[in-house]
Chains A and B, each alone.
Chain A
Amino acid sequence: GAVVSQHPSRVICKSGTSVKIECRSLDFQATTMFWYRQFPKKSLMLMATSNEGSKATYEQGVEKDKFLINHASLTLSTLTVTSAHPEDSSFYICSASTSGSTDTQYFGPGTRLTVL
């Protein structure tokens, strides 16, 4: 079955530093990858949609200069949180789709980011 991994699973960093989170599709080619942020009430917020080889499409209210997304290959997308602040502490989840449709998405296990 389709598997998506995320690395790291947990990261703790100091305020002002940058953190990179990787999302990999292990056994399939992901045409599209999605990045979500999970808030304490459990709902997921879609941050951006990335297609391989093109710029990511960010949702309204998401700062593209702060959350840098790169989708360099059909199996890898990265989210870099630049100049992280404590309010960026959250759970970040990626998902991958083979067709670009949001109906069938393979979710990664998530990355817990804590900014001190």
Chain B
Amino acid sequence: DQQVKQNSPSLSVQEGRISILNCDYTNSMFDYFLWYKKYPAEGPTFLISISSIKDKNEDGRFTVFLNKSAKHLSLHIVPSQPGDSAVYFCAASESEPGTYKYIFGTGTRLKVLA
């Protein structure tokens, strides 16, 4: 069964507005979460992360929120720009020294309309 779920396969947002991408997980042992951004024909690139000791992490226009009780995280992009159009993957892991073992969601395609 999918331990990390992105239930919205696609999302369209007007330029300048907020984009909110959601991710749910089932494994309560996950304590580190990441968002990746992927352009066509490229591998996913790391965007932002958050550990379970925080409920918010901000980096410029990107903010990730973590709700541990709901096992839910979200990525907010504000203001959205056309260059943000890509597929976004969330990923989760249990902390394990020396490993990069992540469980990925299936991705959400974001389209930012000019």
Residues of A within 8 A of B (CB): 1-3, 9, 36, 38, 40-46, 91, 93, 95, 102-107, 109-110, 112
Contact = CB atoms under 8 A, between A and B. Distances in A.
A104 B100 contact: no
Contacts of A42: 34, 46, 49, 100
A1 B2 contact: yes
Main secondary structure on A side of the interface with B: loop
B5 to A, nearest CB: 8
B104 to A, nearest CB: 4
Contact of A41 (B40, B43, B46, B87): B46
Contacts, number: 66
Contact of A38 (B5, B40, B100): B100
Nearest to B3: A1
A107 B100 contact: no
A45 B107 contact: no
Contacts of A91: 99-101
B63 to A, nearest CB: 18
Nearest to B100: A91
Contacts of A95: 104
A104 B43 contact: no
A107 B40 contact: no
B113 interface: no
B80 to A, nearest CB: 18
Nearest to B40: A102
